[in-house]
Amino acid sequence: MIHKDVLVIGAGPSGLSAAIEAGKAGADTLLVDLNLKAGGQLFKQIHKFFGSSAHHSGTRGYEIGSLLLKQARDAGVEIWLQSTVIGIFPGGKVGIERGLDNGEKDLVTLKAKTIIIATGASENAIRFKGWTTPGVMGAGAAQTMVNVNHVRPGENIVMIGSGNVGLIVSYQLMQAGCNVVALLEAAPKVGGYSVHAAKIRRAGVPIYTSRTIIEALAGEDGSVCGCVTAAVDDHFQPVPGTEETLKCDVITLATGMKPTMDLVKLAGCALKFHGPLGGYVPIHDERLETSVKGVFVAGDSTGVEEANTALDEGKIAGISAAEELGYISHEDADAMRSEIWSRLDSLRLGPFGERRMKEKKAMMEEYSETVKVPAAFQ
Amino acid sequence: MGERIENHIILDCKPAGQKIQITVDGKKIPAYDGEPILSALLAAGIKINRYTVKRHEPRGLFCGIGQCTDCAMVVDGIPNVRTCITPAHDGMVVETQDGLSKEVRHDS
């Protein structure tokens, strides 16, 4: 059986930075990802990041991805791509369907002393008549097509949702040569940053607030040829008589994300519902350890946030895993973590970030109350 | 109909692989070696990948990252292949999947 000090699941921003920290500290680290390429969603982020220089501000997402891949190689991290974790068993045993170079798959069982789960998040869908019609897709799916695969998913796009994803992907679809017909927001005002909304407004895209989609229309070929929208009341219910039809061949849903929880559930981690973090999340302490000893979490899988917070959480998880195995002293690990936590606090400012910061703090308090053995018994 | 992006203000959109051909429901379409099968389909204007088991409804690209399985097709006789994360190779035979389809093994 293969033995590893640290197994990191998911090679997005948090998983990569966790693996880099653990590898740098000297831990024998394996990073596993089910995709063709490491980097998670970083390679579809073609905009420049916000934050401080420690968070790669002013650098485009895909450039950060390339940088992290290089750092992971330099840190001696072993990477398995097209490999899916299919089971986590007591005692750190993990079943992996490993992708081989010849395209075949092999079932592998390995034993990891510590596990870092960094499985990210998945897009929420909203349901309306015809929502399964080909041409209705996640905003992230459309973004992947244009920015990674360099192919347009269609010509005329209606975007649902005005959070930062809806706003940024609308702009990126226009950069790719698509026509964004309209952006609909069920809430009375735009959800994302004004700077992003202003960019697409200046480009002539109408943003309709208090309006949502009620039906996707299918053409003769079975795919989307338009949609019906309606104004909504204070309870988000469509108002009869306000229906309007828009012509489009793609409807993109930017209606939030939720943490991908399959593996934390398999690992038996304690979960708690935290709405501002995207739903159920595995609770963790300030070392990012879950209720299961030796199992850590990082990034969107423990609360949907931004790529830069994921990068920092990944670092903390990587440091903590290395500390657990004695590669970093407790004093050094504490010092490294407190520096990152203060950086994270400064990132989690502003109306969105602050809400999530409070939620994270509340979660860590819950952890100390429900999971940690009281100091008196230690 | 989708098209390939050739000029982009930020990205270099030069194809990574050689120009190849794949067959989709008996028709030959161009593709680039190693790109997701789905990219070649979109570029050729093909939006329906499969029909559902019970109600025979069309499905197409939904998540684009191998999570939802709506883009599953029969590839070289093997059903339920997620075309959004499976690389295209020259001569690949791709068919629209009807329901669960059946695996056709050509044992030699």
Locus of tokens 């607030």: A209
Mean pLDDT in consecutive groups of 10 residues from the start of chain B, 108 residues: 82 88 98 96 96 96 92 96 94 96 63
pLDDT the model gives residue B14: 84
Percent of chain A with pLDDT over 70: 97
- Cβ of A132 within 8 Å of Cβ of B57? The answer is yes
**CA angle (A197, A182, A253) in 5-degree steps:** 85
The structural domains of chain B, ordered by start, are: 19-98 (3.10.20.440)
Chain A residues with CB under 8 Å of B53 CB are none
Partner-chain contact A142 B64, CB within 8 Å: yes
Say which CATH superfamily domain A124-251 falls into.
FAD/NAD(P)-binding domain (3.50.50.60)
Residue B4 CA to residue B14 CA, distance in Å, equals 10
Q: At A134, list the tokens.
A: 């080909």
pLDDT averaged over every residue in chain A: 93
CA torsion B77-B96-B23-B94 (nearest 10°) is -30
Backbone region of residue A135 per phi and psi (left: phi > 0; alpha: psi in -120 to 50; beta: other values)? left
Q: What is the mean pLDDT of residues A140-165?
A: 96
Contact at 8 Å (CB) between B88 and B66? Answer: no
Mean pLDDT of A137-143: 97
The reply to whether B17 touches chain A by the CB within 8 Å rule is no
Q: How many CB pairs under 8 A join A and B?
A: 103
Residues of A in contact with B41 (CB under 8 A): none
Question: Which CATH superfamily is A1-120+255-368 part of?
Answer: FAD/NAD(P)-binding domain (3.50.50.60)
- Mean pLDDT, residues A241-246: 98
Closest CA to A317 of A121, A167, A117: A117
Contact residues, A window 25-84, toward B, CB-based 8 Å cutoff: 34-36, 46, 60
Range of lowest pLDDT (A56-65, A219-228, B49-58): A56-65
- Determine the Cα–Cα distance for residues A21 and A29; give it in Å rounded to an integer: 10
Write out pLDDT tens, residues A17-47. Answer: 999 999 999 999 999 998 888 988 888 887 7
Q: What is the pLDDT of residue A131?
A: 97
B57 close contact with A: CB closer than 8 A: yes
The answer to whether residue B1 neighbours chain A at the CB level (below 8 Å) is: yes
pLDDT of residue A9: 98
Distance CA A49, CA A46 (A): 9
pLDDT per residue as tens digits for the range A297-321 = 999 999 998 888 999 999 999 999 9
Q: Tokens 């120009």, residue?
A: B19
Task: Report d(CA A83, CA A106) in Å as an integer.
Answer: 9
Residue A48 has a pLDDT of: 78
> Does A305 or A249 have the greater pLDDT score?
A249
Q: Report d(CA A193, CA A299) in Å as an integer.
A: 21
Q: How far apart are CA A74 and CA A23, in angstroms?
A: 9
Give A142's pLDDT tier (boundaries 50, 70, 90).
Answer: very high
Regarding an ipTM greater than 0.90, the answer is yes
Of A145, A150, A177, Cβ closest to residue B64: A145
- Residue B101, pLDDT score: 86
B86 to chain A nearest CA, in Å?
8
Query: Measured between alpha carbons, how far is A226 from A26 in angstroms, rounded to an integer?
Result: 56
Distance, CA of A46 to chain centre: 16
Separation CA A207–CA B5 (nearest Å): 26
Average pLDDT over residues A247-264: 96
Phi, psi of A41, rounded to the nearest 5 degrees:
-90, 5
Q: Provide CATH 3.50.50.60 ranges for chain A.
A: 1-120+255-368, 124-251
